Structure 1
Amino acid sequence: MLVSIHPDNPQPKLIQQMVDILEEGGVIIYPTDTVYGIGCDITNKKAVERVARIRGLDPAKAMFSFICQDISQVTDYSKTINNDVFRVMKHNLPGPFTFILNSNNKTPKILKNRKETIGVRIIDNNIVDALVRGLGRPILTASVKAEDEVAEYYTDPHEIYDKLGKQVDAVIDGGPGGNVASTVIVCTGDEAELYREGAGVLK
């Protein structure tokens, strides 16, 4: 199913349709403020495993991130965030950043890695914001990577649908996607450290 949702004013009926798919354990592809992402409800183990299979990853070793609606929701899944890190997050979110934090016991086991860290995003995209708020829980996110050697990521939702539409429950057409992934910031120590330079520039 390919669903066109307005990037500035997402249609509530279509958002609810996508939320229902997530609630039922489905997998969807959606636009973000960087590249298109594939994801599901983080609390549904089978759905997370399905995303891993689609991406060709071992669920036990995959290092997935997830999207939260705000910093308050981030703190539900992370250990205490110190003031310096909190300040960096507040100044830069929502935006094209993935913050690596120490996870707490509320984080689903399948999303925890050996270092017991998590990657979290708060995305500057109205469609994703509406999805996360509608679901009431974070959404797993993994980049939709292209198969050719020229472009690393698919940017055309119609091409994404042609390539992956039969493997997922829905592809959202929210306009052209980017081709640069998020900047990754590691915040597991006392200070925020740049791990991967991407679409965002820290303020």
Structure 2
Amino acid sequence: MARYFDVHPVDPQPRAIAQVVAILRDGGLIAYPTDSCFALGCSLDNPSGKDRILRIRQLDDRHHFTLVCADFAQLGQLVQLDNAVFRAIKSVTPGPYTFILPATKEVPRRLLHPKKKTVGVRIPHHPVVRELLGALGEPILSSTLLLPGQDDPMTEGWLIKDELDNTVDAVIDSGECGLEPTTVVDWSEGSPVVTRVGAGDPSPFE
């Protein structure tokens, strides 16, 4: 049975954040709000977390996972950035964007796209996620909480708790956080290609 955390959307309770961090460090899988929509997340060193997300969403190994980062210090350790890419990404973050980039050797091989050796990265703006990332001290491996057969991500914490009670370990509810997933920009070939238009304005990359 998943633990349910009702947290303030702007000033989340430190005790609740600490409890969620403990669950992540203990190998747990969480459902949590972001600045675009709800997501599933686990720690990077959780070997079963990726597989659990794939099973819940019924995805194959070609799915691009996202490493949700607190800041550019974390992001820069995970993906290869030249100056132009750095400036372009920094101009729109924190915000509802995911960037696909070649991974560095810091990223475990099991988390990479099997052919491209790329990974998604993002720096969210949501206060709850930023507090969570700050307390955890490392990125969260993440994927949009879009269930098989559904057109839109789930948006309400209590419904997520009811639906995924036996498949995740914790649900963070800070109120509705929107329906649109992130805008995805694939930069793996040297120039930006918008592969999904979502909550972020795609025009800077078109």
Q: Taking structure 1 as the reference length, what is the TM-score of the superposition?
A: 0.92
The percent of aligned pairs where both chains have the same amino acid is: 38
Deviations 1:91-129 (A, max 9, x none): 100100001111011101111111011100111111111
Which whole-Å CA distance do the structure 2 matches of 1:158 and 1:197 have between them?
28
Assess if the C-alpha contact under 8 Å between 2:58 and 2:148 holds in 1.
no
CA contact 1:183–1:196 (8 Å) conserved in 2? yes
Shift in Å at residue 191 of structure 1? 2.9
**Alpha carbons 1:95, 1:200 under 8 Å: kept:** yes
What stretches of structure 1 move > 6 A for 4+ residues in a row?
none
**2-structure distance, mates of 1:147, 1:117:** 24
Count of matched residue positions in the alignment of Structure 1 and Structure 2: 200
User: Aligned to 2:43, what secondary structure does the other structure show?
Assistant: coil
Query: In 2, Cα distance between the equivalents of 1:139 and 1:164?
Result: 19
**Contact residue 27 and residue 39 of structure 1 kept, 8 A:** yes
Q: Which residue of the partner structure matches residue 74 of structure 1? A: 75
Residue pair 2:57, 2:148 contacting (<8 A) in 1 also: no
| Secondary structure, counterpart of 2:67 in structure 1 | strand
**Judging changes above 3 Å, is the alpha-carbon distance between structure 1 residues 12 and 191 closer, same or farther for their aligned structure 2 residues?**
same
Normalised by the length of structure 2, the TM-score is 0.91
C-alpha RMSD of the superposition: 1.5
Task: Answer yes or no: is the 8 Å Cα contact 1:10–1:130 preserved in 2.
Answer: yes
Segments of structure 2 that go 5 or more residues without pairing to the other structure are none
The CA distance in 2 between the partners of 1:193 and 1:185, in whole Å, is 6
Give the conservation status (yes or no) of the 8 Å contact 2:146–2:152: yes
Instruction: Give how far 1:192 is off.
Output: 2.5
Contact 1:84 1:191 in 2 (8 A): no
Amino acid paired to 2:175: G
Q: What's the offset of the Cα at 1:146?
A: 4.5
1:168 is matched with 168
Q: Quick one: which amino acid aligns to residue 32 of structure 2?
A: Y
Within 5 Å, give how 1:103-182 maps onto structure 2: 103-113=103-113, 114-146=115-147, 151-182=151-182
Is 1:188 aligned to 2:188, yes or no? yes
Q: Is the 2:43–2:141 contact (alpha carbons within 8 Å) kept by the matching residues of 1? A: yes
Greater shift after overlay, 173-182 or 12-21? 173-182
Give 1:38's match in structure 2, choosing from 40, 65, 72: 40
